[in-house]
Amino acid sequence: MTATLVTPPRTSPIPPEKGFLQRLQPGRVVAAVVMLALVVGGIWASIELKINIASLIDSRDNAINFIGRMFPLDFPSPGETAALLWETLSIVLLATALSVVLSFFLALLAAHNTSPGTASMMISRFLIVLARAIPDLVLAVLFFRMFGLGGLPGILAMGLHSIGMVGKLYADSLEEIHGGTYTAMQTNGATWWQRVVTGYLPLWTPQLISVGLYRFDINLRGSVLLGYVGVGGIGLAMADALGSLQYHRGMALAFVILVVCILVEVLSGALRTAIHGNPGANRNRLARLFPEQSLWVTEGNVRRVRDTPPWTVGRAGRFLAMAAVLVLLIAAVFGAKVDLGAAGAGLLKLPETLGHFFPMETDPEILTAIVDGMVVTIQIALASTLIGAIVAIPVGVLAARNVFPNRWLNTTFRVLIVVIRGIPELILAIVFVVVSGLGGVAGTLALAVGTVGMLGKLVADSLEETDVRVQDAIRANGATRLQVFFSATLHQVTPALVAHVMYIFDNHIRSATLLGVVGAGGIGFLLLNASRVLEYPTVTTIVLAILVVVLVVEALSILVRRALR
């Protein structure tokens, strides 16, 4: 086998020219067909949802009217705001911590280089996909039924749903670690646990922390939506205010959320950079605080090398960071108003509670309504992906530093992306519901704006990661910037671009199932109503419908990712 590979026939080093059909690689065909389907579907959906320029202009009056009702903003007292924020942050912190801990173990079972067996690998991977497919809103509805009010339902809902992303990224990053240290521990006679902890954990920790921070960021934005089903904190306060048409108060709270989200996003981004970068300069300045400690110690009359590690900036920093996280987590347990008594009682009633959700609702009339809601949900995802991509791709191109290098231009678009990324989709949806009325148009526009933040960043990052040497070679031939972009950079970035668009569509399908909660169209509206009137069998049917659609799209994006490889 190897012999034929290693020694090619010397007689014809250049293969004969292939025909058109042979040049079509199956991977490219699949990717092209899916992309074409997304574009056609997006156009169809935009027409079905009646999104057009004229109706957007018509809603201008609504916007002006809305702004009039918003101002003056009515902020709660600083103490009240702080209390609401602390409750939200506590819930988000505990939820993220829960997902980090559970994902850690699931990833160990799911990654091929640590998994003890095929069965545990399949099961843990299935659990991760399942966690991603069930929206946290659905879990929250279930857990409220079980545990009643308080922080616990929100923590569990967000924590379990986050495993879908955190667990996957943890397993991926674990698989990327070079296995040499693990083998080295194996040759020492170490057990599985010893190998994993000593061989992998030191190399894995940066990813563990950085993915956790990233998810904290996402959960903070998601927690606002959970306010609509009763998860405490600032999201609940906002939902109550808007529900009772107090726009002055509601929009003031939305503004507070927006500011906090952007702050946390910037902070977590900076922390993540600090973890992966080399904090040389700062460390040297801090190092002066620690006097050089001698390698030698004297015990009695014996002078020998110390057997305890000296205190350095790094060691002190690690200890302080661990202590700080621990204190924060304990404080958060109180901040989130976790009622452990109710939790225990809820667990005891688990079978009974689950019984409320079965058998699922099969009344044809309700089924028709669910299918209609699902169609609108898919339309929203298709239309918002198309419209969003049309805006986001140019924005990403202009934000990338290597396509049209101009500091002022690139920075402007980078800042635009960061600001849009910071806005929770829910707040966009609320605004668009007021401006363009209840229904799919509001949801589409909200997600389309969100796309500019998400896809714009991905496009800009991918462009900056392309190999500049190819571009330089073409520019050296006298090509203009625009020619270089179309003849080299665009080719280099196309596979990544297709993957990103697929990711955005996947993401929008999930979001579109939920934005109906605020009246932005789609199946979420039915879900919220069914859970409000305690029609749990209907909830089950809706959840199954969501699961089917989400898993189909997930399978589609796996197909596209495989094809691009």
Beta bridge partners of 303: 298
- Contact indicator for 124, 110 with CB cutoff of 8 Å: yes
Question: Which listed residue (102, 137, 158, 185) binds another protein by CB under 8 A?
Answer: 185
Angle, in degrees to the nearest 10, between helices 425-436 and 490-515: 70
**Closer residue to another protein (CB): 179 or 405:** 179
Beta bridge partners of 296: 305
Scanning residues 44 to 83, which ones bind another protein (CB under 8 A)? none
Q: Which is nearer to another protein, 245 or 302 (CB)?
A: 302
Contacting residues for 524 by C-beta, under 8 A, at least 6 apart:
137, 377, 512, 513, 514, 515, 516, 517
Q: Does residue 78 come out as left (phi exceeding 0), alpha (psi in the -120 to 50 range) or beta?
A: alpha
Specify the stretch interacting with another protein by CB under 8 A; choose among 192-200, 264-272, 408-416, 432-440: 192-200
Binding track, positions 141-180, relative to another protein; x by CB under 8 A: ---------------------------------------x
Least gap, CB of 117 to another protein (angstroms)? 13
Q: How buried is residue 309: exposed, middle or buried, by Cβ count under 10 Å (0-12/13-18/19+)? A: exposed
For another protein, the closer CB: 185 or 237: 185
359 part of the interface to another protein, by CB under 8 A: no
**Pick 104 or 255: Cβ nearer another protein:** 104
Q: Does 492 bind another protein (CB under 8 A)?
A: no
Among 150, 154, 199, 235, binds another protein (CB under 8 A): 199
The secondary structure element, H or E, covering residue 474 is: helix 468-476
Q: Which is nearer to another protein, 304 or 562 (CB)?
A: 304
Nearer Cβ to another protein, position 14 or 57? Answer: 14
Kindly state the smallest distance separating residue 498's Cβ from another protein, in Å: 21
Query: Could you say whether residue 187 binds another protein (CB under 8 A)?
Result: yes
Residue 197 is a binding residue for another protein (CB under 8 A): yes
313 binds another protein (CB under 8 A): no
Q: Is 454 helix (H, G, I), strand (E, B) or coil?
A: helix
Distance CA 106, CA 238 (A): 35
Binding residue for another protein (CB under 8 A) from 21, 295, 302, 476? Answer: 295
**E-strand spans in 436-547?**
none
- The interface with another protein within residues 6-35 (CB under 8 A) comprises 6-8, 13-15
Residues 73 and 255: beta-carbon distance below 8 Å: yes
| Residues 224 and 178: beta-carbon distance below 8 Å | no
Residues 6+ apart with CB under 8 A from 96: 158, 159, 162, 212, 215, 216, 219
Q: Taking CB under 8 A as the rule, which mask of x and - marks residues 222-241 in contact with another protein?
A: --------------------
Q: Please report whether residue 281 would count as binding another protein according to CB under 8 A.
A: no
209 binds another protein (CB under 8 A): no
- Among 19, 78, 189, 364, the residue binding another protein under the rule CB under 8 A is 189
Question: Minimum distance between the CB of residue 389 and another protein, rounded to whole angstroms?
Answer: 30
Task: Write down the least CB distance from residue 251 to another protein, Å.
Answer: 48
Q: Is 191 in the site for another protein (CB under 8 A)?
A: yes
Q: How far is the CB of 310 from another protein (least distance, A)?
A: 6
Tokens of 377: 């949900």
One-letter-per-residue 3-state SS of 95-131:
HHHHHHHHHHHHHHHHCCCCCCCHHHHHHHHHHHHHH
Structure tokens at 177: 């670690």
Peptide bond into 72 cis (omega under 30): yes
Among 30, 35, 130, 190, binds another protein (CB under 8 A): 190
- CA nearest to 102, candidates 170, 2, 25: 170
Nearest approach in angstroms of CB 187 to another protein is: 4
307 is a contact residue toward another protein (CB under 8 A):
yes
**Residue 303 Cβ vs another protein, minimum distance, rounded to whole Å:** 13
Q: List the one residue from 77, 298, 308, 362 that touches another protein (CB under 8 A).
A: 308
The interface region with another protein, picked from 5-13, 97-105, 392-400, 539-547 by CB under 8 A, is 5-13
Using the minimum distance from each CB to another protein, give the nearer residue, 115 or 538. 115
- List the structure tokens of 543: 């959840």
Q: Report the nearest approach of another protein to the CB of residue 325 (Å).
A: 16
Kindly report the number of other CB atoms within 10 A of residue 339's CB atom.
16
Under the binding rule (CB under 8 A), the answer on residue 302 touching another protein is no
Residues 128 and 126: their CA atoms lie apart, in Å, by 5
What gap in Å lies between CA 515 and CA 439, rounded to an integer? 10
d(C-alpha 19, C-alpha 30), whole Å: 19
Query: Angle formed by the axes of helices 340-348 and 136-147, to 10°?
Result: 90
Contact 506, 554 (CB under 8 A): yes
Size of the site for another protein (CB under 8 A): 37
How far from the centroid of its chain's Cα atoms is residue 298's Cα? 54
CB burial string 288-306: b at 16+ within 10 A, e below: eeeeeeeeeeeeeeeeeee
Q: Which position among 52, 55, 194, 411 is part of the footprint of another protein (CB under 8 A)?
A: 194
The least distance separating another protein from the CB of residue 118, rounded to whole angstroms, comes to: 17
Q: Which residues bind another protein (CB under 8 A)?
A: 1-2, 5-8, 13-15, 180-181, 183-191, 193-194, 196-199, 201-203, 205, 295, 304-305, 307-310
